[in-house]
C-alpha cells in the first residue's frame, strides 16, 4: 500500500510540475559581433534580410539589432520556438521620432492562427512588451518601419507544459481506482 501511495504521489508531482522558465539577455555576446542567426535554449533568432548585430548598452547589457544595411536596425526579426511558449515578454528599444512610425509583432499561436499587435505608437527608449495574454506561442515576427531602427533584449518565457489528454487522464484515474480496489480486496482476503 505504501508503495502504491508513493507511486501515486510521484505521478501527481510530475503532472503538476511547473513550466520551465527561460531568460535570454544576450550579455554573453561581444559588442559589435554580427551573426547570421542566434540559437539559445528552445529559441532561434533570425533577421529577414541581412544579419543580427549585438549592441552593448551602458552597463554591458547586450541587445540584438536585425540589420538590413550597415546603418540601421530595421530588418524583421523572427523568433522561432522549438516548443510552444507562454508568458512571453521582452524589451524593445527604439527612437520613434514621429508618431507615424510603427513597430508590430505578428504572433503565431501553437494552436494555429496568428494575430498582429502594435508595439509602440509614441517615442520610446525602453518598453517592456508582455504577451502573457496570448496562449501558447510557436513564433513571432517583429517589424518596424522606423529608419533609425529598434533593438531587442531580455526575452523571457515559460516553455508550455504538455497537458495530459483527457482520455489518458481518465485511463490513469481508472488504473488508480483499480489499484485501490485490488489493495482493499487483498486486505479483506488476508
Higher pLDDT, 12 or 77: 77
Question: What is the per-residue pLDDT for 81?
Answer: 96
Residue 123 pLDDT grade (very low, low, confident, very high; cuts 50, 70, 90): very low
Residues ≥6 apart with Cβ < 8 Å to 19? 86, 158, 159, 160, 161
Instruction: For the chain, give the mean pLDDT.
Output: 78
pLDDT band at 78 (very low <50, low <70, confident <90, very high): very high
9 vs 132, higher pLDDT: 132
54 touches 64 (CB < 8 A): yes
Q: Which segment of 12-26, 36-50, 107-121, 172-186 scores lowest on mean pLDDT?
A: 12-26
User: What percent of the chain clears pLDDT 90, i.e. is strictly above it?
Assistant: 29
Q: Give the pLDDT mean for 114-128.
A: 70
Confidence of residue 137 (pLDDT cuts 50, 70, 90): very high
Residue 133, pLDDT > 70, answer yes
- Say if residue 19's pLDDT is above 50: yes
Per-residue pLDDT, averaged over 83-111, amounts to: 82
Q: How confident is the model at residue 13 (pLDDT cuts 50, 70, 90)?
A: very low
How high is the pLDDT of residue 97?
Answer: 56
**Residue, of 182 and 117, whose pLDDT is higher:** 117
Amino acid at each position: 500500500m505504501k508503495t502504491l501511495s508513493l507511486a501515486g504521489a510521484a505521478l501527481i508531482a510530475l503532472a503538476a510540475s511547473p513550466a520551465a522558465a527561460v531568460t535570454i539577455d544576450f550579455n554573453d555576446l561581444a559588442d559589435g559581433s554580427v551573426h547570421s542567426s542566434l540559437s539559445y535554449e528552445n529559441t532561434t533568432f533570425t533577421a529577414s534580410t541581412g544579419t543580427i548585430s549585438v549592441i552593448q548598452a551602458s552597463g554591458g547589457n547586450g541587445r540584438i539589432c536585425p540589420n538590413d544595411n550597415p546603418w540601421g536596425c530595421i530588418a524583421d526579426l523572427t523568433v522561432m520556438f522549438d516548443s510552444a511558449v507562454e508568458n512571453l515578454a521582452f524589451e524593445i528599444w527604439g527612437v520613434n521620432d514621429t508618431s507615424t512610425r510603427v513597430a508590430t509583432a505578428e504572433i503565431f499561436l501553437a494552436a494555429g492562427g496568428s494575430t498582429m499587435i502594435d508595439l509602440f505608437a509614441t517615442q520610446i527608449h525602453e518598453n517592456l512588451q508582455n504577451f502573457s495574454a496570448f496562449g501558447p506561442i510557436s513564433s513571432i515576427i517583429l517589424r518596424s518601419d522606423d529608419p533609425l531602427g529598434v533593438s531587442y533584449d531580455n526575452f523571457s518565457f515559460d516553455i508550455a507544459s504538455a497537458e495530459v489528454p483527457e482520455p489518458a487522464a481518465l485511463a490513469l484515474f481508472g488504473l488508480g481506482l483499480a489499484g485501490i480496489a485490488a489493495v482493499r480486496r487483498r486486505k479483506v482476503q488476508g
